[in-house]
Amino acid sequence: MIKNTFLILALILFSACANNNNNNKENIVFILVDDLGWTDLGYSGSTFHETPNIDAFSKESIQFTNAYASASVCSPSRAALMTGKHPARLNITDWIPGYIPDNEKLKGPNILNELPLSETTLPEVFKAHGYKTFFAGKWHLGNTGFFPEDQGFDINIGGHHKGSPPGGYYSPYKNPKLLNGPKGEYLTDRLTNESINFLDTIDNTPFFLYLSYYTVHTPIQPNTQYINKFNKKLADTKEDMSSTFKDERRGKTALKQNNPAYASMLYALDKNIGKLITKLKKKGLYNNTTLVFTSDNGGLSTVLKNKKQKAPTAVVPLRGGKGWLYEGGIRIPLLIKPSNYSGESKIIDTPVISHDFYPTLLSLADIKTGAASNLIDGIDLSPILITNNNSIDRKELFWHYPHYHASGWAPGAAIRQNNWKLIEFYDSSTLELYNLSEDISETHDLSLKYPKKVKALQNRLHELQKSMNANTVSNNIDYKMGELKSQ
């Protein structure tokens, strides 16, 4: 299948007219962790989890405390990251193919089950400008014909249509895009090693390395090398680590981080991050590389009330978790080390979002797409990264999630404007208003106190949705109250 032939030719021709001195082009390493929560890391407040290498990296990078995923679930955020477009504009508003309950009040809209080949992706632009492009890990943006190698990556290791590792975290992987390793090989180790092997092929050619870990997505399987460490830590702790939960509409949210299996997975991830950074430094690539570390959505801290499953992490003080448009479902960790960075830790509280990566990374690499540029919704963050300017020209952020989710979320949308945040719940026809500067936990609904602010934000939310031709819910004519099989 020919992918946007004329656009790709235009990119290549534009690249040929650009500066061809590849030695001066900076490299990009983008690390995406699946379901990593805002407070899952040591530097962001965790005391039970241990992430010394990531904590060390945070001290030589720029920390964003108000970083958001483009969606509260994976596929929409990943599509936004690849294109710079809002999930609503792409019509990829749920994880692919989505959660379809048996009997609910509303019907969620149909979505695209793949990232269209007509979209111009980050790796396509980098490739057209002389970069080697490498992908390892989770893709979840389409099946055969829509894999990473069809979207601009020279190499694809492990990326296919599944959202979780089909064989779990140990070989054999049952992954059509990943050869099995020795029995018992650990998936996170393997993806890192493959990335390191790619770095060994680098000479003077710039590269875009996208390492998209499957961890810490379910299944929550303990790392056999480190599980005893955290079992002992849980047993030895003097803090009350008993399981505590809070009801959240149809869901229940964990309030404490006390899962040794999850902690062991994070610790293994951290070991691998350290290993990759060490390799970059030994190869002399670290200084001239922009390195991004982030998550695709909030941590899995909320599940349906009737499920026996317990959420593996907590993101307190945030409310809710993955799947929800409360802060716990969309606020994510983000560390960025620009190339040739001074090494001084810097904290930025400006709100940013996943679709900002597209224009930002191209800008940092000094890539101008010229006539081949297409409409994007992200904003270039490079002024924040390379100057003392901590603000960008954006009035609001919004999220569009008109679907049910297995965490207990029901269809809705949200908008943040300055410190005000409005959430609209479609199934109950209710609105909630919060002031995040005073109430990051979203516990005090101010909608009755500020009705004019509610109306103004709701109108603006609807304007934004309309401008992107956002999909929407419909009434379920077959809905029968009291027969909710999904609960």
Which of 81-90, 298-307, 442-451 bottoms out in mean pLDDT, i.e. has the lowest? 298-307
Which of 8-12, 46-50, 191-195 bottoms out in mean pLDDT, i.e. has the lowest? 8-12
Name the residue with higher pLDDT: 325 or 245: 325
pLDDT, position 3: 57
pLDDT, position 463: 98
* 12, pLDDT greater than 70: no
Query: What phi and psi values does residue 289 have, to the nearest 5 degrees?
Result: -125, 130
Other CB atoms within 10 Å distance of the CB of residue 466: 10
Name the residue with higher pLDDT: 346 or 136: 136
Average pLDDT of 62-83?
A: 98
Which of 11-15, 346-350, 398-402 bottoms out in mean pLDDT, i.e. has the lowest? 11-15
Which of 12-16, 147-151, 472-476 bottoms out in mean pLDDT, i.e. has the lowest? 12-16
pLDDT tens digit string along 393-405?
899 999 999 999 9
CB–CB of 312/300 below 8 Å? yes
Name the residue with higher pLDDT: 305 or 13: 305
pLDDT, position 19: 39
Distance, in Å, from the CA atom of 219 to the CA atom of 208, rounded to the nearest integer, reads: 29
Q: What percent of the chain has pLDDT over 70?
A: 92
* 10, pLDDT greater than 70: no
* 353, pLDDT greater than 50: yes
Instruction: Single out the residue of 487, 483, 476 nearest to residue 105, CA to CA.
Output: 476
Name the residue with higher pLDDT: 23 or 407: 407
Average pLDDT of 179-189?
A: 96
Average pLDDT, the chain: 92
pLDDT tens digit string along 270-281?
999 999 999 999
Average pLDDT of 160-169?
A: 96
* 486, pLDDT greater than 50: no
Q: Within 13 Å, how many C-alpha atoms sit on residue 295's CB side? A: 32
Largest CA distance in the chain: 67
C-alpha distances in angstroms, 301 versus 180, 267, 324, 337? 31, 18, 10, 28
Name the residue with higher pLDDT: 353 or 346: 353
pLDDT, position 374: 67
Predicted TM-score (pTM) of this structure: 0.93
* 111, pLDDT greater than 80: yes
Q: Can you read off the two tokens belonging to residue 62?
A: 């720029």
* 99, pLDDT greater than 60: yes
Average pLDDT of 346-362?
A: 96
* 468, pLDDT greater than 60: yes
Distance, in Å, from the CA atom of 180 to the CA atom of 184, rounded to the nearest integer, reads: 10
pLDDT, position 153: 98
pLDDT, position 15: 45
- Going by C-beta distance under 8 Å and a sequence separation of 6 or more, which residues neighbour residue 315? 37, 38, 39, 40, 298, 299, 301, 321, 328, 331
Distance, in Å, from the CA atom of 413 to the CA atom of 426, rounded to the nearest integer, reads: 8
* 74, pLDDT greater than 80: yes
* 290, pLDDT greater than 90: yes
Strands 302-304 and 251-254: antiparallel
* 161, pLDDT greater than 60: yes
Distance, in Å, from the CA atom of 134 to the CA atom of 199, rounded to the nearest integer, reads: 10
* 364, pLDDT greater than 90: yes
Distance, in Å, from the CA atom of 334 to the CA atom of 261, rounded to the nearest integer, reads: 24
Number of helices and strands (H, E) in the chain? 12, 19
Which of 249-258, 302-311, 334-343 bottoms out in mean pLDDT, i.e. has the lowest? 302-311
For the chain, domains (ranges, CATH) are 24-391 (3.40.720.10)
Name the residue with higher pLDDT: 484 or 458: 458
